[in-house]
Amino acid sequence: MLPPTEPAPARKTIPHVDFELDDLDSDEERYLDFYRKVAVPEDMLVPLAEHHDGPNSYYVLFDRTATWGHPGMPQVLAVHLQRDHEKRMFSFEHAPLPLPAMAQSWLIHRGCPPDAIGLHPELGPPPADEATRALERRLVGDGDNYAMGYSYTSDDPDDMVIVVVLRAQDEQVPSPFRVVVEEVDTETWTHTLREGGFDTAGEALQWCDDRLTGKAGPLPPVRPAATPSRPAGVAKAPAPHPPGRSR
């Protein structure tokens, strides 16, 4: 207990999101649709990142109500708003996603400047190492190269983990199915992100199931892309000579 002469440490205030739509309700059906799908728990949405550019707003939100919903559902929400103040209308897109980096990528591919949607450094556990930071940067930048097929979010305090199965848009790449795993260390309050490669969706899903039940082995590495080689029996073209007089 603190001595009476010392003030109690200030508690950090958790920010709340404000969509600023109070005057944009001329399309009542869309207004109600937005609040049904996105903003019913507005005071429970924590803005991990947001950017405003004229009529456009981009949000990466943590939905604190998701933990009480269907088991395993994503707890991150990406929202893109477009406002038309003259017509008192707005349009929106939204996507529940398992990882903040995936939400950032989703917003960037809808026009958000990449350097404007960085995550708030004090909200959520920070990356534990450079491998995590590098993979998150790749997910943000290359997100359109993969489609999400499955995810499961476990916020069990004894094993906070998120598993995601991604399928490469190019089916010819090595390891076309990827598993991305985020694990939170509750003692250091940091998180790690790792990636493994699989040849089939079934193998990727089985690994996720094993991880969630505590039976998984190490993630298999992503196979490197094959280096193009010259077909056997084909003569190598002679190197060109620099211009000049022949002897």
**What DSSP assignment string belongs to 82-121?**
EEETTTTEEEEEEEEESSHHHHHHHHHTTT--GGG-PPPT
pLDDT over 60 at 234, yes or no: no
Residue 42's pLDDT band, with cuts at 50, 70 and 90, is: confident
Query: What is the average pLDDT across 54-66?
Result: 93
Q: What is the pLDDT of residues 127-159, one digit of tens each?
A: 999 999 999 999 999 877 899 999 999 999 999
Rounded distance between C-alpha atoms, residue 84 and residue 93, angstroms: 15
pLDDT over 90 at 167, yes or no: yes
10 Å CB burial of residue 216 (0-12, 13-18, 19+) is: middle
Give me the pLDDT at residue 245, please.
Answer: 39
Alpha-helical regions (H) of the chain: 28-34, 100-108, 130-142, 201-212
Q: Please give the model's pTM, rounded to 2 decimal places.
A: 0.84
* Residue 172: φ, ψ to 5°: -85, -10
Residue 25's pLDDT band, with cuts at 50, 70 and 90, is: confident
Q: Which residues pair with 61 in a beta bridge?
A: 47, 77
Query: What is the average pLDDT across 114-127?
Result: 94
Rounded distance between C-alpha atoms, residue 219 and residue 217, angstroms: 7
| Contact of 109 with 142, CB cutoff 8 Å | no
Task: Report the Cα 15 to chain-centroid distance in Å.
Answer: 20
pLDDT over 50 at 247, yes or no: no
